[in-house]
C-alpha cells in the first residue's frame, strides 16, 4: 500500500454579495437557490490524507482538538464531519472501499459563515483523489477513476459552497456562484481572454484585505435560513441573510457599526449565514487596526486581519511524486 500523504491548505471564504431566492429545491436537499460572489480569504484549515490498507476503513485525527483528538468511527462527531462524508461519497462514487487516514487541523471557526467545513471537504476530495490514485485503488476491477466533473458533482451534492473551494485550486479564488452550489464561474482579472466569463468590473469584487470579527457562539445555517423564511431580508444589504443572522446574533451588529462609524468602512457585513462580520479594507494595515479595535472593546471573541482573494493550495511533503501530482 502506498503511504504517500497529500496535504492541502484550505481557505475560509466570505460572501461579498449573497442573494437568496425564496424557491427551495427538493433534489438539492431542499436548499434555497443562491446568487453569490465568493471570495477566498487567508484564514486556513489544513487537511491531509493517506491511503490505508484495503478494508481497514477511515480514521480521523483532529490534532488541535484537545477534548477529542481522534473521534471513534460511528460516533456523531466522526460521522457528521464533512471530511468523513466527503471520503465516503468519493469512495461510493468510485466503487472503492473508503480506507484512509485523514488529519484535519481546524483554525476556521465552526458555524461561522466562513465555509470552513466546506473547504475541508473540498481539500479531502482532492487529497484522496491523489492518495487513492497512488495506492492503486482506482485500478481495481470495477473501480472508476474520478474526473473533474465527477468531483464537482460529488462536491455540489455534499454542500452548496464546496464546489467553489474545489475549483479554486486552479482558479482565482474569486467566483460567481449560482443555482444550488453546482454553478461556479471564476473571475480572471489577469486573464481577460480566458474562455469563462470575466466580470469587466472585477475590481469592485476584489478586496485587498479583510478584517474578520468572529464569535464563540456560532449560528446554525438551518436556523438562519428558517428565520430568513420568516422575516425576509433588508433592502440595501449585501447579504440577504444578514437580517436573520443579526436577529439571532445581535452582538454582530456592534462590529458592523464600529467599522462604519469609527473607521469609515462602508463595506462591513455578515458573511454567509453568520455570525462572522467581514469588513473590506484598503490595506492589511487598516484591517489589522480594525481587528485590534474590535478585540480591545470586546466586540468579538476572536479577530483576524487577512489577505484576499485566496485559494486552496497543495503543500509539499516528503512525497517523491509531489511534482508529478501537482
Catalytic, 35? Answer: no
Catalytic, 13? Answer: yes
The stretch 120-124 carries a mean pLDDT of 98
Query: Residue 302 class from Cβ within 10 Å (0-12 exposed, 13-18 middle, 19+ buried)?
Result: middle
Catalytic residue of the set 13, 45, 137, 240: 13
Q: What are phi and psi of 253, to 5 degrees?
A: -65, -30
The conformation of residue 204, written as its DSSP 8-state character, comes to: G
- DSSP line for 219-288: --HHHHHHHHHHH---TT-SBTTHHHHHHH-TTHHHHHHHHHHHH--S-EEE-TTSS-EEEEESSHHHHH
Give the model confidence (pLDDT) of 55-89 as tens digits: 999 999 999 998 899 999 999 999 999 999 999 99
User: Model's pTM, two decimal places?
Assistant: 0.92
Task: Reply yes or no on whether the pLDDT at 205 is more than 70.
Answer: no
Look-up: residue for cell 446568487? Answer: 35
- Given pLDDT bands bounded at 50, 70 and 90, which one contains residue 171? confident
Task: Give the helix/strand (H/E) hosting 309.
Answer: none
Task: Reply yes or no on whether the pLDDT at 174 is more than 70.
Answer: yes
Measure the CA–CA gap between 115 and 126, rounded to whole angstroms: 17
Catalytic residue of the set 45, 161, 240, 310: 161
Amino acid at each position: 500500500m502506498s503511504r504517500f500523504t497529500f496535504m492541502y491548505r484550505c481557505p475560509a471564504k466570505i460572501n461579498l454579495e449573497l442573494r437568496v431566492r425564496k424557491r427551495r429545491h427538493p433534489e438539492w436537499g431542499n436548499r434555497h437557490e443562491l446568487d453569490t460572489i465568493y471570495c477566498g480569504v487567508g484564514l486556513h484549515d489544513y487537511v491531509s490524507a493517506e491511503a490505508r490498507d484495503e478494508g481497514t476503513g477511515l480514521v480521523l485525527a483532529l490534532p488541535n482538538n484537545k477534548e477529542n483528538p481522534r473521534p471513534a468511527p460511528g460516533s456523531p462527531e466522526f460521522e457528521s464531519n464533512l471530511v468523513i462524508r466527503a471520503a465516503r461519497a468519493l469512495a461510493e462514487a468510485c466503487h472503492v472501499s473508503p480506507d484512509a487516514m485523514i488529519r484535519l487541523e481546524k483554525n476556521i471557526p465552526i458555524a461561522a459563515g466562513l465555509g470552513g467545513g466546506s473547504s475541508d471537504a473540498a481539500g479531502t476530495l482532492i487529497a484522496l483523489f491523489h492518495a487513492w490514485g497512488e495506492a492503486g485503488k482506482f485500478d481495481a476491477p470495477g473501480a472508476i477513476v474520478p474526473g473533474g466533473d465527477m468531483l464537482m458533482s460529488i462536491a455540489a451534492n455534499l454542500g452548496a459552497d464546496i464546489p467553489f473551494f474545489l475549483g479554486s485550486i486552479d482558479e482565482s479564488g474569486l467566483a460567481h456562484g449560482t443555482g444550488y452550489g453546482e454553478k461556479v464561474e471564476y473571475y480572471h482579472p489577469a486573464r481577460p481572454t480566458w474562455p469563462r466569463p470575466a466580470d469587466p468590473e472585477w475590481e469592485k469584487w476584489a478586496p485587498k484585505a479583510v478584517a474578520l470579527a468572529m464569535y464563540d457562539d456560532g449560528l446554525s445555517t438551518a436556523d438562519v435560513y428558517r428565520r430568513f423564511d420568516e422575516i425576509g431580508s433588508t433592502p440595501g444589504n449585501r447579504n440577504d441573510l444578514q437580517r436573520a443572522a443579526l436577529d439571532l446574533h445581535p452582538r454582530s451588529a456592534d462590529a458592523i457599526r464600529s467599522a462604519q462609524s469609527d473607521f469609515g468602512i462602508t463595506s462591513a457585513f455578515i458573511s454567509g449565514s453568520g455570525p462572522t462580520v467581514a469588513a473590506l479594507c484598503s490595506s492589511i494595515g487598516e484591517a489589522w487596526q480594525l481587528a485590534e479595535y474590535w478585540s480591545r472593546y470586546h466586540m468579538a471573541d476572536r479577530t483576524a486581519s487577512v489577505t484576499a482573494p485566496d485559494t486552496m493550495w497543495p503543500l509539499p511533503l516528503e512525497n517523491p511524486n509531489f511534482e508529478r501530482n501537482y
